[in-house]
Amino acid sequence: MQQLVQQLSTGKPMLVETSQPLYDAKSVLVRTRYSAISPGTESATVRSARKSLIGKALERPQDVRATLELLKKQGLTQTYRAVTKRLDSDSPLGYSCSGVVVGVGNQAREFHVGQRVACAGVGYANHAEYVSVPVNLCVPLENHAQLKYAAYNTLGAIALQGTRQADLRLGESCVVIGLGAIGVLTALILRASGVRVLGLDVKASTVERVKSLGINAFCRCDRSIEGEVARLTDGYGADAVIIAASAQDEDPIQFAGRLARQRGRVVVLGDVPTGFDRNPDYYPKELELRMSCSYGPGRYDPDYEEHGHDYPHAYARWTENRNMRAFQHLIASGQLNLESFTTHLVPFAKAPDAYKTILERKEPFLGVLLDYEWDEEAFIHELADQVDLASQVAYDPPVTEASNQNEETPPRRGSRMFLAGSGATGSLVRAVKYSFIGAGSYAQGSLLPNLPKGIQFTRYAVATHSGLSARRAKSKFKFERCDLTPDQILDKEESDAVIIATRHDSHAEYLIRALQHGLSVFLEKPLCLALEEYVAVARQFELSPNQYVMVGYNRRYSRLATTLKEQMTTDPCVINYRVNAGAIPRKHWSQDRLVGGGRILGEACHFIDLTTYLAGSLPVSVRAQALPDPQSLNDVVVAQIRFENRSLATIHYLSNGSSALEKERIEVFQSGASAVIENFHTLRYYSPQGRVKRLRCRDKGQKQMLYAFLNAVSRDLPAAHEEILRVWLATYAVEESLRSGREVALI
C-alpha cells in the first residue's frame, strides 16, 4: 500500500510503498476513502522538520536536554545511533480519516467488515491506503453517511471539545479567535447549537472566506471589534472566548480578556502562550481560564486509546469517542453542512502538492481532503459477496498451553552447508537465512546495527506493526523484503530463524508459533508475562528440543562479564548487583501490566540472568522486599536469590536514585578474591595482581549476543531451555514474594 510520510531530516512530504498495518483484538483494519489534512498542525510539523539542526534544537530544548542526558548515561555511540535513527526515519502524517472496515479484531464487537467508519488518532488514522485503528478511536457511521465529510472526524471532535469547555447555553455569545480549519468548525458547531458567534482572524482573506459561510467575522486589525462584541451582547461582553489560533505572543489571550464579560470564560484550544497580566481584565472580571485537551477525556490515556477501556457514561459524559459520534451526528442530521467548508479535494496520488499549497499560502483554504479515488459502494458489495466471516477475527494468542500438534520435531529449514573454522579442523555449519519482527527504538538502536555480517548469514525479511519502520530497516540494514506481516514470516518456509523484538505481550505467542513452524528463535526479553504463558512455552520447548532458542539477556555476553567469568572458579560466590534504574512514568507502556508486564518482569530479568551466569548455577529460591508504593509499580526492590551451588545474589533495583549516579555496579566475592564491574565500562580485580580492565566505550554485549545466536543456529547447537525457564521463574518469583512477603521456592 502507499502512505504519505515526511522525512524528519528534511521535512519533505512524499508517498512511499509499505506493508499494510496489523490490527489486534481491539482494533479494526480500514481501507481509507478520504483523509483530512489539518492545515495548522500538519504544516507546523513539516515546517519544524525543515529547520536546520540548530533550528530544531532551539525549537525543542527539552529534546536537547534528553540527548545530553542520554549521552551521559549511554555514551557517544548509543546517543549517535538514537539521534540519527530519529532524523533518518520517515514520520507518518495525518490523524483524521474515513473509510470501510476490512478486518475486525475479535474484541471489536461493534464493528463488521463492510461497515463505513470515521477514524482518529496520531499514528493511527494516517494518510494511508489502509489504517489500523483501536476501537475507541473509531466510530461507526450510518449507511447513508458521506465519507467525504466524515473524514473531518478528528478536527470536528477537537472543535466540539472546545465548545464543551466553553459551557455555553442556547442564546449565549462566543468569540472565536483564529479562523483556521478548527476555528471555523468551532464557529459552525456553535452556530448549529444556537450560540451567537463572532469570528476573528489576523488575515483579511481568511475573514472574507469565513463570511461566505455565513459567519460574522472581522479582521483583528479592525478597530470596531470591541464595539461589535458590545452590540452583539447588549454591552455585557462575550459569555466565552475560544482561542483557536496559533501565536508566539500573548496578544490572543490578552485580547480575549478584553472581549469577555464579567465572570466569563476563556478557552485555550490553540497553541498560544498562556502568560498574561491579571490586570486590567482577568482579575477584576474574575475570568475563568480553561484548557481544552484535544478530542476530549480519554486522550493520552493508553488504557482508553490502546486497550479499549471506556469511561463510565454517567461520570464522563463526553469522551473523545462520544465527541466523535456527536460530530458525525451533526453531519448526518444536516445540522452541519461542510460542503462549502471543503475548499480543496486532492487526489491521494498528488498529496505532496496539497502540502505545497498549504505551506506556500498562495491561495485561501479551509478544509483540505485527500481523495483515494475508489468506488465505495462497489467495494462494499464486493466485500459482502466475498468476505469469509471467520477471517474477520484477529489471531488469539495461546495463553494456557501450546496447541496440539504432531509430537515429531519440525525439521530444520536450512540446507546450505559449508566448512567454517580454522584450517583442516573446521566444522560443518549451515548458512542461516533469518528474519526480524519488530523494529522499534531498542531494535533500531541496539539490535539491528549489531547484526553480524558474513556470507553464512542472510537477512531475509523485516516486519513491524506499522510498516514504515520495516521499510526503513530494509533499506538501512539490507534486508531482502519488508512487505511481509509477522504471520507471513512465521508461516512461510523462507527463513531458518527469526529475531523477535516486539512489545512484551506478544512474546509468548510469537515464540510458540515460530517453534511450531520449525524456526529457531531469538526472543528479546522477557520470555513471557503470565504464568499460564510460561506453562505453554515450557510445553512447546518439550515438543521442540532441537530448535535453538535464545532470550535477549545481552549482559552475559558483554566483554567484561565474560572476562570476569573466565577468572572465576566453581566455588560458591556472593554477588551484589546495584541497578540505578531511574523512574519511568506510570503511563509508559512498559509499566502497563498487560503490555509491558511492569519493570520487574520487563527489565529486572536482565540482572537475574547475569547473576545466574556468574554464579554458574540455577536459582532455587527468591525473597524480595519493596519500598511502600501507592502506585504499586514495584520499582524500588531488593531481591535475594539462592542458587543450587549455594551461591547468593542480592539485586537492588532502584528507581529513586540520582540520575548522576552510574546505572549498574556488580560486585563479586569468591574464594578470597573480589571483582567489580562498573557500568560495563571498567572491570577491577581486588586480588594480589590487582588488575584493571577499561573499555573505550560501554559494552553491554548486544553484538556478541546476536553473533552467538546465529552461530549457534548455523552449528545446530542445543539451547539451554532449562536455564531460560528457571530465570523467568525467578523473575516471576520476585513479584510473588512481594505479594506474599515470604521466600518463594522455584523447585
Summarize pLDDT for 438-468 with one digit per residue, the tens: 988 889 889 999 999 888 899 999 998 888 8
pLDDT of residue 386: 72
The three three-digit cell numbers of residue 102, written as one number: 476490512
pLDDT of residue 274: 87
Beta carbons of 499 and 435 less than 8 angstroms apart: yes
DSSP category for residue 394 = P
For residue range 618-638, what is the model confidence (pLDDT) as tens digits?
999 999 999 988 777 788 999
Residue 149 exposed, middle or buried by CB count within 10 Å (0-12, 13-18, 19+): buried
Beta carbons of 645 and 742 less than 8 angstroms apart: no
Distance, CA of 377 to CA of 92 (rounded, Å): 28
SS3 for 393? Answer: coil
Distance, CA of 118 to CA of 154 (rounded, Å): 9
pLDDT of residue 68: 62
Distance between alpha carbon 559 and the CA centroid of its chain, in Å? 32
Beta carbons of 348 and 2 less than 8 angstroms apart: yes
Nearest in space to 652 (alpha carbons), one of 615, 622, 625: 625
pTM for the model stands at: 0.79
pLDDT of residue 467: 81
Note the helical H segments in 451-528. Answer: 468-477, 486-491, 507-516
pLDDT of residue 99: 97
Distance, CA of 533 to CA of 523 (rounded, Å): 14
Nearest in space to 232 (alpha carbons), one of 281, 199, 183, 189: 199
Nearest in space to 395 (alpha carbons), one of 539, 523, 506, 306: 506
Phi, psi dihedral angles at 403 (to 5 degrees):
-65, 155
Give every residue of the chain whose pLDDT is below 50, as ranges: 56, 58, 389-412, 414-427
Beta carbons of 735 and 721 less than 8 angstroms apart: no
Nearest in space to 724 (alpha carbons), one of 445, 515, 584: 515
b/e sequence 221-252, b meaning 16+ C-beta within 10 Å: eeeebeebbeebbeeebbbbbbbbbebeeeeb
pLDDT of residue 409: 46
pLDDT of residue 425: 36
Kind and range of the H or E run holding 162: helix 153-166
